[in-house]
Chains A and B, each alone.
Chain A
Amino acid sequence: MQSPFYNRRLFLAAAGVTGAATLLQGPLGALSPALAQGLAPTPSMRGGSNNYMPRAPLVERLGSGFWVTGRVRRAGDGAPLQGVRIQIWAATTLGGEREPRNHGSVLTGADGSFRLEMEQIVPNFGQPHAHLAYDDGTYQTVFLRPVMPSAQDRSVSADFVLAPA
Chain B
Amino acid sequence: MASPVPRLPALLIRGGLLAAMAAPVLIAATSPYLAYRSLAYVIGGFAGILCLSLLLIQPLLAAGYLPGLVCARSRRWHRRIGTAILACVAVHVGGLYLTSPPDTLDALLLVSPTPFSVYGVLAMWGIAATALLVALRRRLGLRYSTWFLVHNLLALVVVIATVIHALQIEGAMEIRSKWAICLAVLAATAVVLLDLRVIRPLLRRRGTAAGPGPD
Contacts and interface: CB of A to CB of B under 8 A. Distances in A.
B36 A50 contact: no
A93 B36 contact: yes
Interface of A: 1, 5, 9, 12-13, 17, 45-47, 49-51, 91-98, 122-128, 145, 151
A8 to B, nearest CB: 9
7 shortest interchain CB distances as A-B pairs: A46-B113, A50-B102, A126-B169, A47-B113, A123-B170, A12-B111, A125-B103
A122 B33 contact: yes
B30 interface: no
Nearest to A5: B102
A124 B33 CA distance: 9
Contact of A96 (B41, B105, B114, B168): B41
B10 interface: no
A76 to B, nearest CB: 27
Contacts, number: 71
A164 B169 CA distance: 38
A128 B100 CA distance: 15
Contacts of B204: none
B195 interface: no
B171 interface: yes
Interface string B93-125: 000100111110110011111101100000000
A46 B106 contact: yes
B37 interface: yes
B83 interface: no
Contact of B109 (A1, A9, A95): A9
Contacts of B105: 9
A51 B102 contact: yes
Contacts of B170: 123, 126-128, 151
B33 A126 contact: no
A1 B102 CA distance: 9
Most chain-B Cβ atoms within 10 A of its Cβ — which of A9, A49, A123, A125? Answer: A125
Contacts of A122: 33, 36
